[in-house]
Structure 1
C-alpha cells in the first residue's frame, strides 16, 4: 500500500511569462473596519519567486509515490487467416469450394500495448477491455522492468474495463488507492501516467476539463472525466491521479483527428472502476442496479411544456411491470432531477449514477410531478433473469444459421445493452463465416417475428429455423427501430 505520510505537499505557484518564472499572490481587499471581505474581489500581485524552495516546486514527490503502481500491459492474440482465391466472389466456385477460398489457413500473431494500474497489493490490475480483447496471452511489466504473466479474471466490455491478476507473485506490489471521483472538480490538477506509443513510462500534467462528459461513445456507460493532460495511444488503461496520489480514473480514449493528443482525453471515473475491481476481487460477476424504466432527455420544447425555465433532469417515459421503479411508485411523466443528491441532465448521466450505487442500498430520487417537488426512495436491486435465458445455437438452412440466441430478461437486456422492457429472443453471438454474419445480423438484435409468427422464446426460433421456407420474412428490432426484410 502506498502511504501518503511524509510526502511533500505539491503546489503549483510557477507560471511562465515573458521567458521568466513568476509567482502570483492573491491579496483580498479589506473594508474600512479592516475585516476581510469574501474572496469575490481580489487583487493580483505578480512577483518573482521569493525563495529557492519556490523555484524548486515539483510534481516529482507525487510521481515517485504513484508511478510504481502503473504497469505496461502486453497482450498477444492469434489470428487465423486464409489466402483468398481470385475466384472468391464467383458464385459457381463458391458452390463447389465453399466460402473460405482455396488457400491453406495461416496463423499470425497480433500484439497490442497498453497500460494498467495496480489497485490491490495482491497484484490486481485494472486496464481497458480494448487493450486485452481477444488476447491469448497477457504479460505486465512494472516500472522497474520486472515482468509477470497475468490472467484475465474479469472482462467487462460494457464499461471498457478488464481486471488482471498477476501469476506467481511473491510479496506485495505497490498500488493506488481509489479517489471518490464524485469529489473531483473542474480545474483540479491531475497527472496522467502510462506508456504512450511504447516509449516507456511517461507522466503528463493537466487539469480536469469536465467531470460528467457524456455522448463520448467509448463504453455503454458513457460518463467520463475529461482532462487536457496529454494522453496518446498506449496510455489506454493508465492512471489519472490527483494531487493526493489517488486514482481519479482509468485513461480510456482521446478525441483526435491526427492520432495524437489534442488536449481532449477521457478517463473512466474511479467510482465505476472500483465497482468492477471489487467484483473481481470478491470473485463475483459485476452486478449493477436495475432501474426498470425508460428515460428521455429533456429538450427545450419539453422543458417549456413542463413549465421549466431551462432543460434539466430526465423524463420518465415508461415504467416496467414488476420493476424497482414501479415498486417505488414512479410514474410516466415524472421528472428526475437528482440521484442521491447528484444532478442528472441526461439518461447517460442517470445510468452512471444508478449503476454505481451498491445493491441493497436505498436510492434517493429528487422528482418533480405535476409541478410539485417530492423525494422518492427506491431499493437498488439486481436485474432478474426471468425468463431463464435458455441459450441455443442455431444451425441449418435459415437466416439465423450461426447465431447464438437467448430469451430476453431484464438481466440479459442489461448485459447486451438493449431495452429491458422488450420481450422475446435476442442475438448474443454471431459466428464468422455463417449465414447470419453474411446477412448482417448483430449482437443485440431482437427477433420479433418470422413469417408472421411471433417468436416468444428460443425454442420457437429453433423450431422455425428447422422449417423449409422459400421466403423468409423477418421482423427485427435494432436500436429502437423495427426492421422488416424478406430473404429468399
Structure 2
C-alpha cells in the first residue's frame, strides 16, 4: 500500500457545512456514586476559544511557456508565455498566541497565495486578518486581527516532551467546526519525511484530518506543545499518524517575524550525517544519538567556534539531539546572530562550545528570475553543498525547467557552484543555453536552461 503524506488544509469545493462545535466530552465532570469522573472538559472550556478557523480565498496565477510552433500561428507579436488565473478558496485552523495584539499562528500552506484571509472565532464573529509574515520552509505563518475579548493559549517548553505524554488536538477538520481529539505523543524529532525543508516533528496518534492545519496540539494543562501540520494518509483520512511543529520552534520563528518581518535563518556551516551504530563503535562511544561532522565550511560559524571534522555534536543548548535533521531544524529556527551552546565529543572527550550563528542568505522567487529567466518561480538559498531550491511556484518557468523543491544546484556547465554569489556571477556572463548540474537526493543530473 502506498503511503501518502498529506498537508491538512482543506480546499472548499462547495458550500461549507455549518455545524455546532463538536467536543467529545461532557461540559461538566460526570458524577457516579458521588465521585466525579475524569474529564478534559474544564481544561477545554478555557482554551478552545483560542483555536480559530482560517478561511482564505485568492487567485492562483500560473505561467506556461508557449512553444515556438504555436507562436508561429499567432504572429510575431504573440506572447512568449501563457498566463492562467484560477480562483480558489481554502480552509484551515489557527491558534491565538497573543490576545492583546491579536496574533494568530497557522501554517504557511494554509494562507499561501491568499488575497483575503478571514478568521472565524468560536463566538461566531468573522474578522479580517492581516498577514504579518510566513516561512515556507518550516510551514509557519503569523496573522494579526483586531478584535476584543480574545482568548490565547500559553505555550509549554516542548523540549520537555516525552514519548507517552498525553496530547489533545484541536482544529476544524473538513469544515465541520471545532473538533477535539486526544491521544499520546508517539515519537519526537521526526524528520526525513519530505513534508517540509525543516523537519523536527512531534508525532501523535490523536486523530487529525484535513482542515486541522494550523490547529493546536496541547498537553493536559491546556498548554500549546505544537502546531498540527501533516498526516500520513494512505486513504486520505486519519490513520493515527499525525505531525506537529514543536511550540519552541514555532515561537523562535514567530519572534523573528515580529522583529524583522521575515525569518532570518541561522546556519552553522557544517555538513554531517546521523551517528549510527557503526560510527559509534568505531569511535568507542556509548551513545548512538547525535551528528557526525563530515566537513566544516571555512569562515563559517562552526569554523570560528573551533568545531572540526570528526567531531560529534550531541546537544543544542543542553538538549540532546538525535539526528542531523534535528540539528539543522533547531539551528535554522533559532535565527541568525543567536548564541548557541553545542555539546561535542572531540577526540573522545566531551566539551561545550559557544557559537554565534551565521545567516543563511535566500533569494526570493521573483528575484531568482533575474539570474536566469527559466529560474523565475524558484526560491533559492545558500546550502551546505550548493544552492538549495526551497520552493517552486506551480506553472512557473522554473517548474517548466523540471526543477524541483529540494534540488541542490552544484554546478553550471563545468563550473562548480557553492553559493548564490558564485551562481549569480557565472550566470551573468553566460549566453544561450546553460546546463545546471543538480544533486537530487543521491542522484546527479543535468538540466538545460534555454
> Into which bin does the TM-score normalised by the smaller protein fall?
0.7 to 0.9
Are the equivalent residues in 2 in contact too, given 1:290–1:380 (CA < 8 A)?
Answer: no
- Give the Å deviation of 1:176: 0.8
Aligned residue in 2 for 1:403 = 375
Are residues 72 and 93 of structure 1, via their aligned partners in 2, closer, same or farther at CA, if it must alter by over 3 Å?
Answer: same
Q: Distance in 2 between matches of 1:426 and 1:263?
A: 33
Are the equivalent residues in 1 in contact too, given 2:127–2:147 (CA < 8 A)?
Answer: no
Aligned residue in 2 for 1:464 = 430
Q: Distance in 1 between matches of 2:282 and 2:172?
A: 51
Q: Does 1:419 align with 2:383?
A: yes
Q: Distance in 2 between matches of 1:189 and 1:79?
A: 40
Correspondence 1:96-115 to 2 at 5 A: 96-97=73-74, 107-115=85-93
Aligned residue in 1 for 2:103 = 124
Q: Distance in 1 between matches of 2:204 and 2:125?
A: 30
Are the equivalent residues in 2 in contact too, given 1:403–1:429 (CA < 8 A)?
Answer: no
Q: 1:440 aligns with which of 396, 402, 413?
A: 402
Give the match's secondary structure for 1:63: helix
Q: Show structure 1 runs of 5+ residues with no match.
A: 1-9, 15-20, 22-48, 407-414
Query: Cα deviations across residues 395-433 of structure 1 (Å, max 9, x unaligned)?
Result: 9xxxx4332499xxxxxxxx84652354xx777887776
- Give the Å deviation of 1:71: 0.4
Q: 1:181 aligns with which of 158, 164, 168?
A: 158
Aligned residue in 2 for 1:375 = 351
Q: Distance in 1 between matches of 2:440 and 2:131?
A: 31
Give the match's secondary structure for 2:359: coil
Q: Distance in 2 between matches of 1:175 and 1:405?
A: 37
Q: Does 1:137 align with 2:116?
A: yes
* TM-score under structure 1 length normalisation: 0.74
Q: Does 1:323 align with 2:305?
A: no
- Give the Å deviation of 1:52: 2.7
Are residues 156 and 186 of structure 1, via their aligned partners in 2, closer, same or farther at CA, if it must alter by over 3 Å?
Answer: same
- Give the Å deviation of 1:145: 1.4
Larger Cα Rg: Structure 1 or Structure 2? Answer: 1
Are residues 189 and 292 of structure 1, via their aligned partners in 2, closer, same or farther at CA, if it must alter by over 3 Å?
Answer: same
Q: Does 1:340 align with 2:317?
A: yes
Pick 1 or 2: higher relative contact order, CA cutoff 8 A, min separation 6. 2
Are the equivalent residues in 1 in contact too, given 2:51–2:96 (CA < 8 A)?
Answer: yes
Are the equivalent residues in 1 in contact too, given 2:217–2:225 (CA < 8 A)?
Answer: yes
Are residues 163 and 374 of structure 1, via their aligned partners in 2, closer, same or farther at CA, if it must alter by over 3 Å?
Answer: same
Q: Distance in 2 between matches of 1:363 and 1:171?
A: 39
Q: Distance in 2 between matches of 1:229 and 1:194?
A: 12
Aligned residue in 2 for 1:218 = 195
Q: Distance in 2 between matches of 1:275 and 1:486?
A: 39
- Give the Å deviation of 1:248: 0.7
Query: Cα deviations across residues 308-350 of structure 1 (Å, max 9, x unaligned)?
Result: 3563321000111111211111111111222222222210121
Are residues 113 and 50 of structure 1, via their aligned partners in 2, closer, same or farther at CA, if it must alter by over 3 Å?
Answer: closer
Are the equivalent residues in 2 in contact too, given 1:186–1:211 (CA < 8 A)?
Answer: yes
Q: 2:175 aligns with which of 193, 198, 204?
A: 198
Q: Distance in 2 between matches of 1:192 and 1:65?
A: 15
Q: Distance in 1 between matches of 2:323 and 2:68?
A: 49
* TM-score under structure 2 length normalisation: 0.80
Are the equivalent residues in 2 in contact too, given 1:293–1:421 (CA < 8 A)?
Answer: no
Are the equivalent residues in 1 in contact too, given 2:336–2:359 (CA < 8 A)?
Answer: no
Q: 1:269 aligns with which of 224, 229, 246?
A: 246
Correspondence 1:233-312 to 2 at 5 A: 233-308=210-285, 311-312=288-289
Query: Cα deviations across residues 442-469 of structure 1 (Å, max 9, x unaligned)?
Result: 465526233x46673425413313x5x7
Query: Cα deviations across residues 12-38 of structure 1 (Å, max 9, x unaligned)?
Result: xx9xxxxxx9xxxxxxxxxxxxxxxxx
Q: Distance in 2 between matches of 1:485 and 1:105?
A: 24
Give the match's secondary structure for 1:177: coil
- Give the Å deviation of 1:285: 2.3
Are the equivalent residues in 1 in contact too, given 2:172–2:211 (CA < 8 A)?
Answer: yes
Give the match's secondary structure for 1:203: strand
Are the equivalent residues in 1 in contact too, given 2:166–2:220 (CA < 8 A)?
Answer: yes
Are the equivalent residues in 1 in contact too, given 2:410–2:438 (CA < 8 A)?
Answer: yes
